[in-house]
Amino acid sequence: MIMFYEKDCDKLYLKDKIITVIGYGSQGHAQAQNLKDSGLKVFVCLKKTSKKIKNAINDGFKILEIQEAVKISDILIILIPDEDQRELYYNFIENNIEDGKTIIFSHGFNIHYKQIIPKNNINIILVAPKAPGHTVRSTFCEGSGVPSLIAIYQDYNKTALKTALSYSVNIGSARVGIISTSFKEETETDLFGEQSVLCGGVSSLIICGFETLVENGYSPELAYFECLHEMKLIVDLIYEGGITNMRFSISNTAEYGDYVVLNDYYYNILKKKMKKILKNIQNGNFSKDFLTDKKNNFIKLNLFREYYSNHLIEIVGKNIRNMFNWKHKKIIN
Return the active site residues: 107
* Phi and psi based region of residue 58 (left: phi greater than 0; alpha: psi -120 to 50; beta: remaining): alpha
Please measure the distance between the N-terminal and C-terminal CA atoms of the chain and give it in whole angstroms.
42
Instruction: Label residue 94 exposed, middle or buried (CB < 10 Å: 0-12, 13-18, 19+).
Output: middle
- Residue from 39, 88, 81 nearest 60 by CA: 39
How far apart CA 300 and CA 294 sit, in angstroms, is: 9
**How far apart are the C-alpha atoms of 126 and 118, rounded to whole Å?**
14
Quick one: angle between helices 267-282 and 285-295, nearest 10? 70
Q: Give the CA distances from residue 97 to residues 39, 68, 103, 123, 328, in Å, rounded to whole numbers and listed in that order.
A: 25, 11, 10, 11, 50
Task: List the one residue out of 30, 93, 19, 81 whose CA is nearest residue 56.
Answer: 30
